[in-house]
Homo-oligomer: A and B are copies of this chain.
Amino acid sequence: MSIPLGDRRVQRHAPIREQVAAILRDAIVNMELRPGQVLVERELCEMTSASRPSVREALRQLESEGLVESRNGRGTVVAAPTREQAEHLYEVRAELEGMAAELFAERADEQQRAELRAAFGSVEESALRDGRAMLAAKDRLYRVLIAGAGNPILSEMLGGLQRRVTQLRALTLTSPGRPTESLLEIRAIMAAIEDRDPAAARAAAIVHVEQAARTALTFADAASPLLPH
Q: Is the CB of A92 within 8 A of B153?
A: yes
Is A4 part of the contact surface with B, judged by Cβ < 8 Å?
no
Q: Is the CB of B63 within 8 A of A15?
A: no
Given contact pairs A53-B53, A88-B152, A153-B85, A60 touches B17 in the complex (Cβ within 8 A) = yes
Interface of A is mostly: helix
Q: Is the CB of B152 within 8 A of A12?
A: no
Given contact pairs A57-B57, A91-B151, A96-B95, A12 touches B64 in the complex (Cβ within 8 A) = no
Q: Which residues of B contact A122 (CB under 8 A)?
A: none
Chain B residue at minimal CB-CB distance from A14: B72
Q: What per-residue 1/0 map shows which CB atoms of A46-68 lie under 8 Å from chain B?
A: 00000001001110110111000
* CB within 8 Å of B: which A85-110 residues: 85, 88-89, 91-92, 95-96, 99
CB distance from A117 to the nearest CB of B (A): 26
Is A73 part of the contact surface with B, judged by Cβ < 8 Å?
yes
Further contacts, 5 of them, CB under 8 A, given A89-B153, A95-B95: A60-B61, A88-B151, A88-B154, A92-B157, A157-B157
Query: Which 4 residue pairs spanning A and B have beta carbons closest together?
Result: A64-B64, A88-B153, A60-B60, A88-B151
